[in-house]
Amino acid sequence: MKWKSLLLCILVLAGCGGEAEQSSRIVIGVEAGPDNLDPRIGNSLGAARVHQLLFNRLVLLDDRGLPYGDLAESWEQPDDRTYVFRLRPGVTFHNGRACTSRDVVYTYESLLRGDVISSKKASLEMIEKVETRDDETVIFTLKEPFSSFLVNLSIGIVPEGAGDRFSDQPVGTGPFSLKYHRPEQEILLRRNPDYFNGEACSEEILIRIIPNAGIRALELEKGSIDAVVNDLNPDDVVRLKEKESLYVLQQMGTTYHYIGFNLKDPVLGNKKVRQAIGHAIDRDKIIRTILRGLAHPATGLLGPANWAYNDAVPVYDFDPQKARRLLDEAGYPDPDGQGPQTRFSLSFKSSTNKLSKQKAEIYKEYLRDIGIDLSLRSFEWATFYNDIKNGDFQIYSLAWTGIEDGDIYRTRFHSGAVPPFGFNRGRYANPEVDLLIEQAKVTLERNALKEIYHQIQAIIAEEAPYISLWYTDNFAVLKKNVTGFRLTPNASFAPFAQACLK
């Protein structure tokens, strides 16, 4: 009987071991899965989150938007068009194959040649050639100097020869490898024991795709998922803060919300009208009430943490009286003082998203108070977004996500960046800003570049082609037994490699 008791103990211990292994799996709830697991192609938030755990880039950006090495151990710039990168030695892919300079060259050349069709190719057009010197040295030669080149090295490195079916079974160098992917359901990642930066704390990460925000909140309450980053409604975040089994991390993010104008419109082409609209909206109250404190007032596309941020630009504090005065100066007096008649009417487009429509109703009330009639029109996302890209609007509101570098002003406000050549949807044109943007593109000395970006930010804020609203906060709601996770300005999933279940 003793041997039977011993066998029973062994089986129990084995079972306990199985439970311990299961408990080392962190389960994350997300709104949407990846559009493609190939880092050269995938362009959705869901894809970026998985890429951050499966792959490494040449360089990363720190919390201030400054580059530091990832696969690159170091780099030098012998002239203003050449970058020489020295790779970390001993890095291997998940299949055990060494990661060398040939893999880096292949990753970028496969995009530049068009071997894989991807919108990311556009961010690499400044590259003239990529070549190797030896297994650990990569040389990029640019067509012309480009101050934001390092920021554009944001693509995960894939092994040489990765074909057009690479997304089915991606192989990277990151802290986790892919165990399986069930589209629109879940993705299971397992720890890479050979990761060059040290093993991840958790054995596995399970990413569950739960489209409904309310259900994600309920799953957190039940304890069936361990973490959600950003993908919750503000009301649910406030409610979940009170749960003893959970805790919330929160910090200012880089997602910038704004009101955009069509500057070809005869009314909105007047700067004072745009400035008046800026002063008419009480963004602080909207942040307190509708957003439940999960945002900070914005002054421009670059946030306060960014190395090039300008803290001395014109701002549009809530001041209805000043707004009315600006409209008078713009040539649009109120026909009956503050009576029921309006100065003029404008059309505001939004998506059918519940929160977007709610905010549009609030803007309507604020603008009515200064004599502007705002007609609200909401559309399904695809129709709405197509209209914005085509310039078919008077006023709209959207957000730019993941802002890390001042070069964003080039693609949003240069007169040559009108769609389809960029994102200047409001058709803003200012020769002085164009010149400054062109100078910034080729200015490599950081202090000089910072000064140029400061000038651009000041002019854009004063001319108000956008009215800056807020930077939404990043937040993570986690079970109390999840430790080691930290928020980053871009809400990266990479820190889950340091997260543990205690």
Measured in degrees and rounded to the nearest 5, phi and psi for residue 466 equal -120, 150
The span from the CA of 446 to the CA of 64, in Å, is 13
Q: Which domain holds residue 115?
A: 56-168
- Yes or no: say if 319 and 279 are a contact pair by the CB < 8 Å rule: yes
Residue 164 and residue 269 in one domain = no
User: What is the reported pLDDT for 427?
Assistant: 96
In angstroms, the CA 58 to CA 106 distance is 13
Quick one: tokens of 326?
Answer: 């600006």
Q: How many domains does the chain have?
A: 2
Which residues are CB-contacts of 236 (< 8 A; sequence separation ≥ 6)?
213, 214, 217
291 and 157 fall within a common domain = no
* Cβ neighbours around 92 below 10 Å, total: 14
Q: Which amino acid is at 100?
A: T
Reduce the DSSP state of residue 13 to 3 states and report it.
Answer: helix
Whole-number Å distance between alpha carbons of 494 and 49 = 8
- Beta-carbon contacts of residue 154 (< 8 Å; ≥ 6 apart): 57, 123
The stretches in the chain having pLDDT less than 70 are 1-23
Between CA 26 and CA 42 the distance in angstroms is 24
296 close to 252: Cβ distance less than 8 angstroms: yes
**Continuous H helices in 30-186:** 45-54, 101-112
In the three-class reduction of DSSP (H, G, I as helix; E, B as strand; rest coil), residue 122 is classed as helix
Helix, strand, or coil (residue 351): strand
* 346: CATH: 3.10.105.10
Q: pLDDT at position 122, please?
A: 84
Cα 382 to chain centroid, rounded: 20
CATH number (domain holding residue 122):
3.90.76.10
Of 168, 195, 222, the one marking the end of a domain is 168
Check residue 275 and give its pLDDT: 98
Residue 61 lies in a domain: yes
Q: Does residue 205 form part of some domain?
A: no
Q: Does residue 393 lie within any of the structural domains?
A: yes
Rg (CA), the chain: 25
The crossing angle, in degrees rounded to 10, of helices 320-329 and 271-280 is 170
Q: Is residue 350 part of a domain?
A: yes
Per-residue DSSP letter, 158: -
Residue 12: its pLDDT value, please? Answer: 38
Main-chain phi, psi angles of 85, to 5 degrees: -105, 135
Q: Are residues 162 and 275 in the same domain?
A: no
Backbone angles phi, psi at 294, to 5 degrees: -95, 45
Note whether residue 248 is domain-resident: no
User: What's the length of the chain?
Assistant: 502
Dump pLDDT digits (tens) for 58-107: 999 999 999 999 999 999 999 999 999 999 999 999 999 999 999 999 99
Question: Which of the listed residues 168, 193, 224 is the one where a domain comes to its end?
Answer: 168
Do the domain assignments include residue 122? yes
From 136, 168, 200, the end of a domain falls on: 168
Whether 123 and 264 map to the same domain: the answer is no
Q: Are 138 and 278 contained in the same domain?
A: no
Q: Cα(149)–Cα(367) distance, rounded to whole angstroms? A: 42
343 within some domain: yes
Bridge partners, residue 474, by sequence:
251
Residue 179 lies in a domain: no
Q: Could you count the other beta carbons within 10 Å of the beta carbon of residue 9?
A: 10
The span from the CA of 101 to the CA of 91, in Å, is 11
Cβ count within 10 A of residue 71: 23
* 265 and 144, same domain (yes or no): no
